[in-house]
Amino acid sequence: MSTGNELARVAAAETGTGKPEDAVAPETLALIDTYLRDHPGGTERLIPVLHRVQEELGYLPFPVIKAIAERLGISPIQAYGVVSFYHFFTTTPRGRYQLKVCMGTACFVRNANSVLESVHETIGLEVGGVTKDRLFSLEQVRCLGACGLAPAMMVNNEVYGYLTRAGVRKLLQGLRAKARTPHPGGEGGNG
């Protein structure tokens, strides 16, 4: 789904009336160029290059969508249409750990609200929000298909079930500690 503001912004980018702060980082342009060089072809590369860039940045800002479109020889509005159509793309930042709390019937009747409340109490995050350090983002979803584990929450691609307030707190504290743990390469852990 797209809003008028998003489409206006894409249109402004297409006509060159975007603001200077809409510039794309040289590292991101290099990532796009390298991907396209290593994967020859035409416009069929749009979805794979969008995935690759979102994997790196965590989301797809409008100037990046425009840069990809230009390199593929398509309109930024065409590229944005693809981004806005597929649920797995996002134009807003998400956290390294994407928390998705199930609010389906089984989870709801087994107190899924307490999971949301525990997330808020532990890391101060509201539904739709992202922590300042971009470590966590929070969504509520209709169903995870894990009704037998209710109440359940998904962290990235892993489902956690039978959650209690204490269990949520322990899980979030563990993820935060994991992110701070240096890896052999000298960087923090990847979630």
The 10s digit of each residue's pLDDT in 154-182 is 999 999 999 999 999 999 999 999 998 87
**pLDDT at 163 (0 to 100):** 98
Which class does domain 4-85 fall in? mainly alpha
Residue pair 80/17 in contact by the 8 Å Cβ criterion: no
* Model confidence, pTM: 0.64
Q: Can you identify the CATH homologous superfamily of domain 97-180?
A: Glutaredoxin (3.40.30.10)
**pLDDT at 17 (0 to 100):** 44
Q: What whole-number distance in Å separates Cα of residue 147 and Cα of residue 105?
A: 8
Domain positions in the chain are 4-85, 97-180
Percent of the chain with pLDDT over 90: 72
The C-alpha angle 169, 170, 174, rounded to 5 degrees, equals 115
Residue 59, number of CB atoms within 10 A of its CB:
17
Q: How confident is the model at residue 190 (pLDDT cuts 50, 70, 90)?
A: very low
**pLDDT at 21 (0 to 100):** 47
Residue pair 124/131 in contact by the 8 Å Cβ criterion: yes
Query: What confidence tens digit (pLDDT) does each residue in 112-143 have?
Result: 999 999 999 999 999 999 999 999 999 999 99
Q: What whole-number distance in Å separates Cα of residue 132 and Cα of residue 140?
A: 19
Structure tokens at 32: 């796009």
- pLDDT (average), residues 38-58: 95
Return the amino acid letter for 46.
Answer: L
Query: What confidence tens digit (pLDDT) does each residue in 56-79 have?
Result: 888 999 999 999 999 999 999 999
Query: What confidence tens digit (pLDDT) does each residue in 82-117 have?
Result: 999 987 898 988 898 999 999 999 999 999 999 999
